[in-house]
A and B are shown apart, each in its own frame.
Chain A
Amino acid sequence: MTVTDTENTGSTEPQLSPAGNPMGFGRMLRKEDVRFLRGHGHYVDDVQLPGMLYSAILRSPYAHARIVSIDTSAAEAHPKVRAVITGATLEGLNLAWMPTLSHDVQAVLATDKVRFQGQEVAFVVADDRYAARDALELIDVEYEPLPPVMDATKALDPDAAVIRTDIEGKSDNHIFDWEAGDAAACDEAFAGAEVVVEQDMLYPRVHPAPIETCGTVASMDPITGKLTVWSTNQAPHAHRTLYAIVAGIPEHKIQIISPDIGGGFGNKVGIYPGYVLAVVGSIVTGKPVKWVEDRSENLMATAFARDYHMKGRIAATKDGKILAVQVDVLADHGAFNGTAQPTKFPAGFFHIFTGSYDLQAAHCKVTGVYTNKAPGGVAYACSFRITEAVYLVERMVDVLAYELGVDAGELRMKNLLRPEQFPYTSKTGWEYDSGDYPRALRKAMEIAGYDELRKEQAEKRERGELMGIGISFFTEGVGAGPRKHMDILGLGMADGSELRVHPTGKAQLRVSCQTQGQGHETTFAQIVAHELGIPPEDVEVIHGDTDNTPFGLGTYGSRSTPVSGAAAAVVSRRVRDKARIVAAAALECSPDDLEWTQGRWSVKGDPEQGRTIQEIAMLSHGSLELPEGVEGHLDASVVYNPPNLTYPFGAYICVVDVDADTGKVHVRRFIAVDDCGNRINPMIVEGQIHGGLAEGVGMALMQAIAFDEDGNCLGGSFLDYLLPTALECPSWETGATVTPSPHHPLGAKGVGESATVGSPPAVVNAVIDALKPYGVRHADMPLTPCQVWLAMQGRPARTDLALT
């Protein structure tokens, strides 16, 4: 069900192209579907090269152990094995360690010891996938087990085993301390507050788990020295630079190709040891080498997300005016600090824990620690930890409502930022670009029939039935840079784009970002159509190949539309400006005499006199004498450096029923009103939101990766790490408001991660609301039947550890 604010859709009824597509914004069926529907997508495991070899990785069964010896002789003797590589081999090549995206190092293959279960220990290259797996069983590794550090809250205990003995002088598991906001102002606000409420909460470790696992095919041409890498990655250009740094291969000799990607969600941002090993394997064997992980490898060893232990405090007046929010975080970063985030932001954009409210003060402290778990930390559609931030503040608001005995909807409405406060600078220093928050919340409450729901709930409570209504209101911040504040390993977060209009008026747009299902081939063509009047079916979007696209930082943090989308708009405008000069030459008038209407430059006051963009394209390539300043052809390039993030927001309401005798939660309804500014393709935007809402149900109710005290990963397969099916998801009820971004050339904001950020607290708030008759104020995700039942008994479990 969809309800759209018709007065504010942000776009006018578009003209239609010859193929029936909108000449600009509007619902357009996806161009990429043509291949996907026929089974003709081309994903990394579909890549087949002549002579290609297959590989597999031997992984540690221990979370923490010293490697005593590795015997690879039996594996090397296997008739189909071409190479066996260990940490010792890599040490000889100075490749045993590689830099992470957070100024730490990570083992490519373990040399001294293993630091998490599933860590890479040896690499086998063989003639086929089955033989490569067989050979793993022939490698004999002797381990000396060490005590693992599995409980983050004990990682800094004086007697905790030191994990990073590879770092000289390291005597504890501490990584960093970081803070934001004004501690003194916050203390003052708390000291004077009538009501102060505290709540500990965990955002458990989760994994993005796209249905396609990570993989790569590396092909080093021994003659030319050119390395071609097909890999599942969301940021091909950043990868190219990193390969150059890690492997010492000249950057101009590296081509990174991201073929079709079977979902990313942040899992495919970083470079994993397997990718580097495939490159080494190709160099060693002289053949292309494919490495594709299995599902357990994906869940146990690639980028996890969250794992934030948060102690929140909220200060308010007795009548419910929120004054301040303060939070202490213990951040579990695993064995290597491999979070993928802008350099100056060790806790990502967690600052946005101030949420959508008008506060007097705010302050947070984050301490990062090493544990014997897989590295990662920023992944999974989290907008650089805004997921954790929104969860914290939206739970705290509900906890406050519980203590004050007031309606959580009313409490939010009372404290939301008001439209006239925008642009608004938060207490942690972020400038929210635009918003009308009360309108979005009112709209969600209208769609939900909020008052009726509360009435129904009251009646049910009388009968002993458990029904819950949960609200969350989120402010997102997406579209990193600007480059002066934000970089990945020194690479400024700005995106290039190139547009070529061919003589017949058909165009190719080259972008640096990389779709993983977001529909860039369609949306970006619509942007060009919108700006230039070239039908979207006549615009080919080229992406995912570093040899054929301009540099840029890639697709994550919902940055494609805010950054590359803006680049596409600006480059189209540059072409339009060029076309104006050409048209003026053809019409023998001054460019100033021309005006642009619907794909055509025409003489002001004499619209008959004009040239379409297609005509201008031919003229630009033809024999027309061109004036000074135009060299011919019709193309342009741009690097778009965003002036600020865009700040999409939304109001979500979840309705659940809880079976009091079994603890089972049924999500009955979910209402989502999103404001992401102008919507280029509303169908695609809505699809993005749907996907994120399912993530909220998944994280709130079933997804988590816990570890037992011996260091075993308890979420290492789809039997144990549960993802929602169609049966757990309700039919999403979506609505929209439109508050354009004032600084984005199209008035658009990113949206890909909004629902993943905003939906988990709505589901949790609903379940906790249902449990109110039992005096439950909080319980950590995932709210499995057992966890709900334990919460009703007054003793919810820690969900990062094995149940006992």
Chain B
Amino acid sequence: MQVTVTVNGEEHTSEVEPRLLLVHYLRDHLGLTGTHWGCDTTNCGACTVWLDGVPVKSCTVLTAMASGHEVRTVESLEVDGVLDPVQQGFMQEHGLQCGFCTPGMMMTARRLLDDVPDPSEQQIREGISGNLCRCTGYENIVRAVRWAAEHPATEEAPA
């Protein structure tokens, strides 16, 4: 079947099997390998992307369902060479080690901060509770999100 999906602002029209999972479309068809996957059961959150502005687990969304919709992935966070505050926070606070959960974690965190610009530690922990990390014990991820909250992008910076 034919699908048309807008990914990171760019429209893609492709011929795919109806059963193609969105995570595989992004990775195998569009080459956007920044989105990872780590389980089959919507537990780990490594595949988290935005669908129409909302974080979803792309291992459990069909590409067909995303047709006509907008998807945003980790590759869109950096704009014109400027890292998103969330990306900067993860670097500054050592919020990543192996880097595998990081893209999904950052997509979740970005949306969390859009909704709650000044989250408490508990709000951050709840917000990322659908994203598993095996390396960091979450401590520095929480600090990274706090860092981003404390260093929001200036208005002049590209959105």
Are chains A and B touching in the complex at the 8 Å CB cutoff?
yes
Query: Beyond A29-B92, A262-B38, is A39–B137 a contact (Cβ under 8 Å)?
Result: no
- Shortest CB distance B143–A (Å): 9
A260 contact from B91, B98, B101, Cβ within 8 A:
B98
B134 lies within 8 A of A39 (CB): no
Chain A residue nearest to B73 (CB atoms) is A39
A41 lies within 8 A of B138 (CB): no
Residues of A within 8 A of B103 (CB): 39
Categorize the interface residue count of chain B: 35 or more
Residues of A within 8 A of B75 (CB): 38-39
Chain B residue nearest to A690 (CB atoms) is B137
Query: Beyond A33-B96, A39-B34, A517-B97, is A729–B74 a contact (Cβ under 8 Å)?
Result: no
B41 lies within 8 A of A211 (CB): no
A211 contact from B94, B132, B138, Cβ within 8 A:
B132
Does B124 sit at the interface, judged by CB under 8 A?
Answer: yes
Residues of chain B touching chain A, judged by Cβ–Cβ distance below 8 Å, are 17, 19-20, 24, 27-28, 31-41, 43-44, 46, 73-75, 77-78, 83, 87, 90-92, 94, 96-103, 106, 121, 124-126, 128-130, 132-142
Does A223 sit at the interface, judged by CB under 8 A?
Answer: no
B102 lies within 8 A of A694 (CB): no
Residues of B within 8 A of A212 (CB): 36, 38, 98, 100
Tell me, in angstroms, the Cα distance from A101 to B8 when the chains sit together: 47
B44 lies within 8 A of A519 (CB): no
Residues of B within 8 A of A294 (CB): 40
Query: Beyond A517-B99, A691-B97, is A38–B87 a contact (Cβ under 8 Å)?
Result: yes
Chain B residue nearest to A41 (CB atoms) is B99
B74 lies within 8 A of A211 (CB): no
A518 lies within 8 A of B128 (CB): no
B100 lies within 8 A of A296 (CB): no
B101 lies within 8 A of A211 (CB): yes
B91 lies within 8 A of A30 (CB): yes
B102 lies within 8 A of A726 (CB): no
Residues of B within 8 A of A208 (CB): 134
Q: Which 8 A-B pairs have the closest CB atoms?
A: A39-B34, A262-B100, A517-B98, A36-B99, A517-B97, A690-B137, A694-B137, A718-B43
B129 lies within 8 A of A727 (CB): yes
Tell me, in angstroms, the Cα distance from A778 to B138 when the chains sit together: 29
Residues of A within 8 A of B37 (CB): 45
Within 8 A of B (CB), among A294-308: 294-296
B35 lies within 8 A of A39 (CB): yes
Tell me, in angstroms, the Cα distance from A33 to B138 when the chains sit together: 17
Residues of chain A touching chain B, judged by Cβ–Cβ distance below 8 Å, are 29-30, 32-33, 35-43, 45-46, 48, 129-130, 208-213, 260-265, 294-296, 516-519, 683-684, 686-694, 717-719, 723, 725-727, 729, 731-732
Query: Beyond A211-B38, A727-B126, is A37–B83 a contact (Cβ under 8 Å)?
Result: yes
Residues of A within 8 A of B35 (CB): 39
Tell me, in angstroms, the Cα distance from A39 to B136 when the chains sit together: 18
Query: Beyond A40-B34, A517-B97, A517-B99, is A693–B137 a contact (Cβ under 8 Å)?
Result: yes
Tell me, in angstroms, the Cα distance from A648 to B20 when the chains sit together: 49
B94 lies within 8 A of A717 (CB): no
Tell me, in angstroms, the Cα distance from A184 to B19 when the chains sit together: 67
Residues of A within 8 A of B78 (CB): 37-38
Residues of A within 8 A of B32 (CB): 39
A37 contact from B33, B44, B87, B141, Cβ within 8 A:
B87
Q: Which of A33, A39, A210, A693 has the most CB of B within 10 A?
A: A39
Query: Beyond A37-B83, A719-B43, is A263–B137 a contact (Cβ under 8 Å)?
Result: no
A726 lies within 8 A of B129 (CB): yes
A210 lies within 8 A of B142 (CB): no
A727 lies within 8 A of B125 (CB): yes
Residues of B within 8 A of A691 (CB): 97, 134-137
Can you offer 15 A-B residue contacts whose CB atoms are under 8 A? Answer: A37-B87, A37-B91, A37-B106, A38-B74, A38-B75, A39-B73, A39-B75, A41-B34, A45-B36, A46-B27, A262-B38, A263-B135, A295-B40, A295-B44, A725-B138
Residues of B within 8 A of A265 (CB): 134
A731 lies within 8 A of B39 (CB): no
A684 lies within 8 A of B94 (CB): yes
Tell me, in angstroms, the Cα distance from A405 to B37 when the chains sit together: 50
Additional pairs, 11, CB under 8 Å, beyond known A211-B133, A260-B99, A519-B97: A36-B96, A37-B102, A39-B103, A212-B100, A213-B38, A263-B135, A684-B94, A687-B140, A690-B137, A719-B41, A726-B125
B140 lies within 8 A of A295 (CB): no
Residues of B within 8 A of A688 (CB): 97
Residues of A within 8 A of B31 (CB): 48
Chain A residue nearest to B31 (CB atoms) is A48
- Shortest CB distance B141–A (Å): 7
Query: Beyond A211-B133, A717-B39, A723-B132, is A37–B139 a contact (Cβ under 8 Å)?
Result: no
B97 lies within 8 A of A723 (CB): no
Tell me, in angstroms, the Cα distance from A683 to B139 when the chains sit together: 12
B132 lies within 8 A of A725 (CB): yes
Tell me, in angstroms, the Cα distance from A749 to B99 when the chains sit together: 25
Query: Beyond A261-B98, A263-B98, A690-B140, is A33–B40 a contact (Cβ under 8 Å)?
Result: no
Q: Which of A683, A686, A723, A726 has the most CB of B within 10 A?
A: A726
Residues of B within 8 A of A683 (CB): 94
Tell me, in angstroms, the Cα distance from A35 to B129 when the chains sit together: 25
- Shortest CB distance A68–B (Å): 30
Residues of A within 8 A of B46 (CB): 211
Tell me, in angstroms, the Cα distance from A73 to B48 when the chains sit together: 39
